[in-house]
Structure 1
Amino acid sequence: MSAPSYTVWAVPGLPEVREGDDLAKLIAAAEPGLVDGDVVLVTSKIASKAEGRLVEATDREAAIDDETVRVVARRGTLRIVENRQGLVMAAAGVDASNTPAGTVLLLPVDPDASARAVRDGLRDALGVDVGVIVTDTFGRPWRAGLTDVAIGAAGVRVLDDLRGGVDAYGNPLVATVIATADELAAAGDLVKGKAAGLPVAVVRGLAHVTGGDGPDPGARALVREARDDMFRLGTSEAVREAVTQRRTVREFTDDEVDPGAVRRAVAAAVTAPAPHHTTPWRFVLLESAAARVELLDAMRDAWIADLRRDGKSEESIAKRVRRGDVLRRAPYLVVPCMVMDGSHTYGDERRDAAEREMFVVAAGAGVQNFLVALAGERLGSAWVSSTMFCRDVVREVLGLPGSWEPMGAVAVGRAVGEPKARGERDVGGFVVVR
């Protein structure tokens, strides 16, 4: 039995591609010896030129803006973005090299459709069933250098899912999914080169990864879904998104909350600024349902007693109590507390009041850090002030020292559905410049 092998070569003789050219006919004329099972690798640049994606643009940055869906990371003028095709890459794939002055080349609108068109055209021209991959050059996180990857595909098994099988030692494979299309794209790049004027290559000998006229997911299957992407944002962008995406969540799923995620959020909370190098934060984690019910029942009774003393009707009291049920609907509660250990006493009412305000501000900064960190853990939260109105009750039920001042309660859990989009706020309305 011969060892597995394949052959890859660049296709010479292709003319300069222009808008409206039929790529399949050009490739067929330059490489008429294609056979069933070959994989044809087509550089995205010539697909874009044929599809009229060369556009006037005196400002490349503006063109990148137009093609960008979201910024993933930014360093100086370099931007890693998600583009309209769903690809995360530098500069949205906008190319200003080897194009006339004042123009840029955009990626194909639908690279999978581009691959299908070339595959169908080669079948019509040569009567062969080949796979086609549209390639582009990417950098990769944590790795130096560039390589070609598949951004469009047709008639190619882009992913080889080995999960459920076993390795040579009988160990189960539980996470092994091979990016076959990317490996083929990189193989072709070895012979095409970046400056050799050879935009098409052919791989022969791997017919098992091609063929079929059934459902074809294309290279889109290589794009990781947002929910599975652990590295969706760069550092500063992740912080900014956690801050801006934090919402008050009032409806939670029944999913359990990872206590480790809450503790990581507490670790972020206690990095907040505080006066006199103090640590004025304490967080009481109510992880058992019994503890939550005991606290909330005691707080409800205290609240009802207060409302009755205020002369509220029973109907009004019932409505108010129902509005406070957000804490009961959460699978996890946290009671942040302020302690004034290390505070100064001046013997002056004005200065002592200011001292307390500094600690209250620091406590609030710690809670904000906590809420933002929870958002970074994909946990929803609602900071409710109720414990501040019955601090003695809270301290008694939870067995807290008298010096601990409960600063509300935070409901924590997975949000039911996506939060509503927050309306745009004009920063100018919150800024005074002197």
Structure 2
Amino acid sequence: MSTDIDTGIEGTGPGYRVWALPGIPEVRPGDDLVKLIAAAATAGGLPGLADGDVLLVTSKIVSKAEGRIVEATDREEAIDRETVRVVARRGALRIVQNRQGLIMAAAGVDASNTPYGTVLLLPEDPDASARALRAGLRTALGVDVGVVISDTFGRPWRAGLTDVAIGAAGVRVLDDLRGGTDAYGNPLSATVVATADELAAAGDLVKGKAAALPVAVVRGLPHVMTRPAATDPDSADGTDDVGARALVRDGADDMFRLGTSEAVREAVTLRRTVREFTDDPVDGGAVRRAVAAALTAPAPHHTTPWRFVLLESPEARTRLLDAMRDAWAADLRADGFSEESVARRLRRGDVLRNAPYLAVPCLVADGAHAYPDARRAAAEREMFVVANGAGIQNFLVALAGERLGSAWVSSTMFCRNVVREVLELPGDWDPMGAVAIGRPAAPPRERPVRDGADFIEVR
């Protein structure tokens, strides 16, 4: 295998050179990586290291030098300890978020190239490890180099593996081109290049996976460096030297945070009753997608007993809620409640009035079987009611998946005729409550975890 790639062709424009450093021995806990790399870089016949070079270091030797080898008769147990969150699972394979914030298979726990009965963990802080290597080489060789610590990742939607950066120092890990223009003058609004990952992949072309060449050097790309390092080797390596941590998307920006089954469970967990909303407008498209999810619920006789009335205008919401308030007040007065008590109970409806969007789910029992006796007729009705509840649950979960809060309130069921009249609904549409929808004004309060065993009987 060639260990040297030169992309430049004389007279044709810019290029770069990348080569592997031979001669690095098997690394053991406590070894001085700076000394090992410096010796390999200055061995006879090699070009050495120069200012502006980028050193590409396989994470495995960093982990070994830092003593990240642990005894583990069961690799799965080690993965459990390093896992913060399961992203997706298929059989024994787990894609997880690990303690370093990286999302990868098996939390980066490696059982290869390490003694039997042990596993190798990723460096505790890969960015700190990169900074230490950079500072050490500056002291040992008097050169200002960038350092990228890489590990092997699989990728969604793409077959095969590639090296990516998990630690960096002295390198612009992201090249933000937003605000510029392309060759045709078109504005660039979304282009942020993962420079550190591109460097890691370039190094892997000459290091290989089984060639015992854990370190490579890239020369000829000075634009990827941050500003020169500070004189003090312990100080920050430039104001824009943010490290590879900046490559990890946070939860708010990650559109693919979970695998399929995990996403379903997470969405169900996220479905919480929200009673206070911001004034932010609600995307009607998101609500319509939630309606589509509602229609996947089971229903008797292959029917579709769900209808959703979407109150998108403030006028429609006010008109309905005023009419419902008057009907409820009349009922309360007829029950003998005082005016003070009536007013207090009416305030409970504020969750609907303060929401920027309302939906009124309705039951339409098209296709219901007609039975001559009350017992079977009641059971038939209950089947449709249960199906309607299943559809509304789908609706609420889908809203949570759209990051919308909701509160399902039963009030329309107590004045169905009023609701039908105000909304001009057919007589066979039965309102099944109302759903307040909006952006939550605050994070939901913690609620106790319910043990499923408390709700199960086995026969």
**TM band (smaller chain):** over 0.9
Q: What letter is aligned with 2:257? A: R
TM-aligned CA deviation for residue 417 of structure 1: 2.4
Equivalents in 1 of 2:61, 2:448: separation in Å? Answer: 42
Counterpart of 2:374 (choices 349, 370, 383) is 349
Q: What letter is aligned with 1:42? A: V
Equivalents in 1 of 2:390, 2:12: separation in Å? Answer: 68
The aligned counterpart of 1:124 is: 139
Counterpart of 2:244 (choices 207, 219, 229) is 219
- How many residues align? The count is 434
Equivalents in 1 of 2:108, 2:82: separation in Å? Answer: 8
Q: What letter is aligned with 1:48? A: S
The aligned counterpart of 1:430 is: 455
Counterpart of 2:23 (choices 3, 6, 13) is 13
State whether structure 2 residue 386 is matched by structure 1 residue 361.
yes
State whether structure 2 residue 392 is matched by structure 1 residue 339.
no
TM-aligned CA deviation for residue 366 of structure 1: 0.6
**2:138 alignment partner, SS class:** helix
The aligned counterpart of 2:353 is: 328
Counterpart of 1:23 (choices 26, 33, 37) is 33
TM-score, length basis structure 2: 0.93
TM-score, length basis structure 1: 0.98
The aligned counterpart of 2:121 is: 106
TM-aligned CA deviation for residue 244 of structure 1: 1.5
Equivalents in 2 of 1:420, 1:200: separation in Å? Answer: 49
**1:264 alignment partner, SS class:** helix
**1:228 alignment partner, SS class:** coil
Q: Gapped runs of 5+ residues in structure 2?
A: 1-10, 43-47, 228-236
TM-aligned CA deviation for residue 299 of structure 1: 0.6
Listed as ranges, the matches of 1:157-168 within 5 Å are 157-168=172-183
In 2, are the aligned partners of 1:44 and 1:108 still within 8 Å (CA)?
A: yes
TM-aligned CA deviation for residue 2 of structure 1: 5.5
Counterpart of 1:191 (choices 192, 195, 206) is 206
Equivalents in 2 of 1:356, 1:12: separation in Å? Answer: 78
The aligned counterpart of 1:390 is: 415
Equivalents in 2 of 1:52, 1:421: separation in Å? Answer: 39
The aligned counterpart of 1:180 is: 195
State whether structure 2 residue 328 is matched by structure 1 residue 318.
no
**1:70 alignment partner, SS class:** strand
Between the two proteins, what is the percent identity of the paired residues? 81
Equivalents in 1 of 2:35, 2:329: separation in Å? Answer: 81
TM-aligned CA deviation for residue 97 of structure 1: 0.6
Higher mean C-alpha displacement, 412-421 vs 35-44: 412-421
In 2, are the aligned partners of 1:28 and 1:125 still within 8 Å (CA)?
A: yes
Equivalents in 2 of 1:192, 1:214: separation in Å? Answer: 29
**2:143 alignment partner, SS class:** coil
In 2, are the aligned partners of 1:130 and 1:211 still within 8 Å (CA)?
A: no
TM-aligned CA deviation for residue 246 of structure 1: 0.8
In 1, are the aligned partners of 2:226 and 2:238 still within 8 Å (CA)?
A: no
The aligned counterpart of 1:250 is: 275
In 2, are the aligned partners of 1:37 and 1:211 still within 8 Å (CA)?
A: no
The aligned counterpart of 1:233 is: 258
Q: What letter is aligned with 1:81? A: V
TM-aligned CA deviation for residue 421 of structure 1: 2.7
The aligned counterpart of 2:60 is: 45
In 2, are the aligned partners of 1:280 and 1:338 still within 8 Å (CA)?
A: yes
Counterpart of 1:71 (choices 66, 86, 99) is 86
Equivalents in 2 of 1:314, 1:50: separation in Å? Answer: 77
Equivalents in 2 of 1:218, 1:61: separation in Å? Answer: 29
Equivalents in 2 of 1:67, 1:376: separation in Å? Answer: 27
Equivalents in 1 of 2:266, 2:369: separation in Å? Answer: 37
Equivalents in 1 of 2:175, 2:257: separation in Å? Answer: 24
Equivalents in 2 of 1:55, 1:416: separation in Å? Answer: 45
TM-aligned CA deviation for residue 214 of structure 1: 2.1
In 1, are the aligned partners of 2:31 and 2:65 still within 8 Å (CA)?
A: yes
Equivalents in 1 of 2:146, 2:442: separation in Å? Answer: 40
TM-aligned CA deviation for residue 199 of structure 1: 0.6
Equivalents in 1 of 2:345, 2:134: separation in Å? Answer: 66
TM-aligned CA deviation for residue 211 of structure 1: 3.5
The aligned counterpart of 2:7 is: none
Equivalents in 2 of 1:375, 1:393: separation in Å? Answer: 30
Counterpart of 2:438 (choices 407, 410, 413) is 413
TM-aligned CA deviation for residue 250 of structure 1: 0.8
Counterpart of 1:115 (choices 130, 133, 149) is 130
The aligned counterpart of 2:309 is: 284
Equivalents in 1 of 2:344, 2:70: separation in Å? Answer: 61
In 1, are the aligned partners of 2:412 and 2:434 still within 8 Å (CA)?
A: yes
Higher mean C-alpha displacement, 416-425 vs 343-352: 416-425
In 2, are the aligned partners of 1:386 and 1:409 still within 8 Å (CA)?
A: yes
Equivalents in 2 of 1:181, 1:140: separation in Å? Answer: 16
Q: What letter is aligned with 1:420? A: R
Q: Gapped runs of 5+ residues in structure 1?
A: none
**1:360 alignment partner, SS class:** helix
